[in-house]
Structures are given as C-alpha cells and as structure tokens.
C-alpha cells in the first residue's frame, strides 16, 4: 500500500518555528543541535549533493515532551540543513492520522521522519531511534507482547534504562543517525 501525505505538506512547522515554540526540553534540544558535527566528510558531501534536487520533502512527527525527539531531531535537522531539503514538523497530538499510519511495534513512537517526493508520495521513513538503540525495545516487545504480563512494567522500565545506556552520555550516536539517514535516502535517490 502506498501512502501519500500531500495534504500535510505546508501544514507543519519549520524547524525554527518548532525550536522557538518548545515549552519543554528546549535547552537540552538546543545543546544537541549545537553539538552536532559530521562524523564522516563523505556523508556530508552526500547530503550536500541533494541540494540540487527540488523533489524531496521531509515531514517529522514530533513533540517537545519526548526524550527521543530531544536527542534525535536536532541531528535530523542539521543533516537535512546540509541537504537544503524542505523540512516540516507535525506535532503528534495535532496529526495523529499521520503517526497512526507509521506505527512502530504497534505504537505511536516519535520522532518519525518521513521522506516524500514533491507530490507527497512517501519514499521512506526513519525513527524513532538509531537501530542499535531501538534494538533493545524490539527485544522487549518480542519477549513481552502482552501488556498484562506481571513483569511488563518492570521490564519496560529496565528496557528504557538500557536505551539510555545505548545512547550514552555524549553525542557519538549522532553518527549512527547520520549514516542511517544516508542509507535510507540512498535507497530512493539516484
């Protein structure tokens, strides 16, 4: 089934509007935004090569209360700035119809970074976390599919602790996002 989000293009916030309007976690978000640096000059050149394309768009479903948004969206913003790609942020609570088309493991996990062509046809998506970090949640959901399981809440808490550990203290995970976005975009740009 192909998904088209034409009706959402032009309805989101610019990255600057999103950052300016943050009421939660703004300081941490801006810290990650300012601390971004390219891990690989070849990746940077790849994103720069997309500047000549006028046919790509990015919609990011996000909310400022979400820790994964705070960690990951600043990197996405910086990478896509290099590409000169139009980016819009759709606040999840205002665009549940979009996030409900892009569930992760059956849930509304954000951020969800969605790439479309200029007509709104979805080309690919990324999120909510780098694959290595998300793998802890995938393992948890496989082992505890039933929310009523007596150990569910305790194991969920342990999984979130593992996710924090995998992110680490610094910004090393930024390189993973950079690489994963490059791999995704490479799958549909020539």
190, pLDDT greater than 80: no
Q: What is the pLDDT of residue 79?
A: 97
Choices 3.40.640.10, 3.40.50.300, 2.60.40.10, 3.40.30.10: CATH for 6-128+171-186: 3.40.30.10
Owner of token pair 């705070």: 70
Q: pLDDT, tens digit, for every residue of 81-99? A: 999 999 999 999 999 999 9
pLDDT of residue 2: 82
Q: What is the residue-averaged pLDDT of the chain?
A: 96
Find the mean pLDDT for residues 47-60.
Answer: 94
% of the chain with per-residue pLDDT over 70: 99
Q: Is the pLDDT of residue 10 over 90?
A: yes
pLDDT above 90: percentage of residues in the chain: 95
Determine the straight-line distance between the first and last CA of the chain, rounded to whole angstroms. Answer: 23
What is the average per-residue pLDDT within 133-146? 95
pLDDT digits (tens, 9 = 90+) for 107-139: 999 999 999 999 999 999 999 999 999 999 999
Sequence-distant (≥ 6) Cβ neighbours of residue 29 within 8 angstroms: 19, 22, 64, 69, 70, 73, 74
Q: What is the pLDDT of residue 105?
A: 92
The three-state (H, E, C) secondary structure of the chain, written as one string: CCCECHHHCCCCECHHHHHHHCCCCHHHHHHHHHHCCCCCHHHHHHHHHHHHCCCEEEEEEECCCCHHHHHHHHHHHHHHHHHCCCEEEEEHHHCHHHHCCCCECCECCCCEEEEEECCCEEEEEECCCCHHHHHHHHHHHHHCCCCCCCCHHHHHHHHHHHHHHHHCCCCCCHHHHHHHHHHHHHCCCC
The confidence score (pLDDT) of residue 66 equals: 97
Give the residue-averaged pLDDT of 37-45: 95
Every domain of the chain and the residues it spans: 6-128+171-186
Q: What is d(CA 14, CA 118) in angstroms, rounded to the nearest whole number?
A: 17
- The partner residues of 116 in beta bridges, in order of sequence, read 57, 122
Q: What mean pLDDT comes out for the span 44-58?
A: 94
Please give the backbone phi and psi of residue 39, each rounded to the nearest 5 degrees, phi first: -90, -20
pLDDT the model gives residue 189: 86
- Cα dihedral 42, 165, 36, 56 in deg (nearest 10): 60
């Amino acid at each position: 089934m192909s998904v088209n989000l034409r009706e959402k293009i032009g309805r989101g916030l610019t990255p600057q509007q999103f950052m300016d309007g943050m009421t939660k976690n703004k300081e941490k978000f801006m810290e990650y935004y300012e601390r971004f640096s390219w891990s690989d000059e070849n990746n940077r050149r790849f994103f720069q090569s997309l500047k000549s394309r006028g046919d790509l768009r990015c919609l990011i479903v996000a909310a400022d209360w979400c820790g994964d948004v705070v960690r990951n969206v600043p990197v996405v913003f910086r990478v896509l700035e290099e590409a000169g790609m139009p980016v819009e942020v759709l606040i999840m609570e205002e665009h549940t119809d979009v996030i409900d088309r892009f569930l992760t493991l059956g849930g509304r996990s954000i951020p969800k970074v969605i790439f479309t062509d200029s007509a709104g046809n979805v080309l690919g998506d990324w999120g909510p976390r780098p694959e290595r970090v998300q793998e802890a949640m995938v393992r948890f959901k496989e082992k505890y599919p039933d929310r009523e399981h007596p150990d569910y809440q305790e194991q969920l808490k342990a999984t979130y602790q593992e996710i924090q550990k995998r992110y680490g203290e610094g910004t090393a995970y930024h390189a993973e996002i950079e690489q994963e976005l490059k791999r995704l975009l490479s799958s549909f740009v020539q």
